[in-house]
Structure 1
């Protein structure tokens, strides 16, 4: 019997996928700036930063996809991602960039609250591995 996917799972998966998309766009912009010879102190440091942006984006896309499918490990991964977003969003708010800060903090807080919803915990309890033999 396949459990019914609760709506909060969809909301969290969409938030995480939107954050992954934002990172991918940022990586594209960063890569464009790097290719157009924007001055950087360390070229290879900039390439490494670009690689980190791409890797984190891919990781968030996989978290969103596997959370949508109900895997257990994704709740912790999504929570860690939201805490990272908060560590950037709160200083952005206090630094005077109101709309950018709200755009980071509000979805992150919604996702954190929904991650502890009973329906989400129940649904996202699927362990990895092979399906049962019988």
Structure 2
């Protein structure tokens, strides 16, 4: 029995996923997991403690969960090579840096570094040539008639 032929890579796309894309996707998945864990902690505290503002606590919980789910989606489609994901990845990493800098200035060094180093690495890798070449896909597979 013969082995099935490997599908030919699309024109202009590498046959394998570059290591930088794997690293960025992993960071996105870890950031998403952290946000979802934090959202779960907020839900737990909604039931076990009295928040100063119930509306604010519920809003923060929903925002954390939505951001976590969005990062999971970005990580998945970024790994698959969709072009539109680069903008979402860039914006989220910039937001993370905006939170990390005041955290560092406030003297919370360990948390600030955890907030700063992964986005800084992602931003450095995001504009590298292999990543840009991998993320040039604009839509799904061509439709068959």
User: The TM-score by the shorter chain falls in which range?
Assistant: over 0.9
Cα pair 2:51 2:57 within 8 Å, conserved:
no
Query: How many Å apart are 1:132 and its aligned residue?
Result: 5.3
Is 1:73 the counterpart of 2:84? The answer is: yes
The CA deviation string for residues 59-114 of structure 1, in whole angstroms up to 9 with x for no partner, is: 00000010011010111110101001000011111110111111111111000010
Give the number of equivalent residue pairs.
Answer: 133
Q: Which has the higher helix share?
A: 1
Q: Secondary structure at the match of 1:19?
A: helix
Unpaired runs of 5+ residues, structure 2, are 1-7
Scaled by the length of structure 2, the TM-score of the pair is 0.86
Indicate the residue corresponding to 1:107 in structure 2.
118
Query: How many Å apart are 1:130 and its aligned residue?
Result: 4.5
Of 20, 25, 35, the residue aligned with 1:8 is 20
The CA deviation string for residues 45-66 of structure 1, in whole angstroms up to 9 with x for no partner, is: 3212211111110000000010
Scaled by the length of structure 1, the TM-score of the pair is 0.93
How many angstroms apart in 2 are the aligned matches of 1:45 and 1:39?
8
Unpaired runs of 5+ residues, structure 1, are none
Of 70, 75, 81, the residue aligned with 1:64 is 75
Query: How many Å apart are 1:40 and its aligned residue?
Result: 2.1
Structure whose CA Rg is larger: 2
Q: How do 1:74-93 and structure 2 match up within 5 A?
A: 74-93=85-104
Query: How many Å apart are 1:129 and its aligned residue?
Result: 4.1
Is 1:22 the counterpart of 2:34? The answer is: yes
Indicate the residue corresponding to 2:107 in structure 1.
96
Indicate the residue corresponding to 2:137 in structure 1.
126
How many angstroms apart in 2 are the aligned matches of 1:60 and 1:81?
8
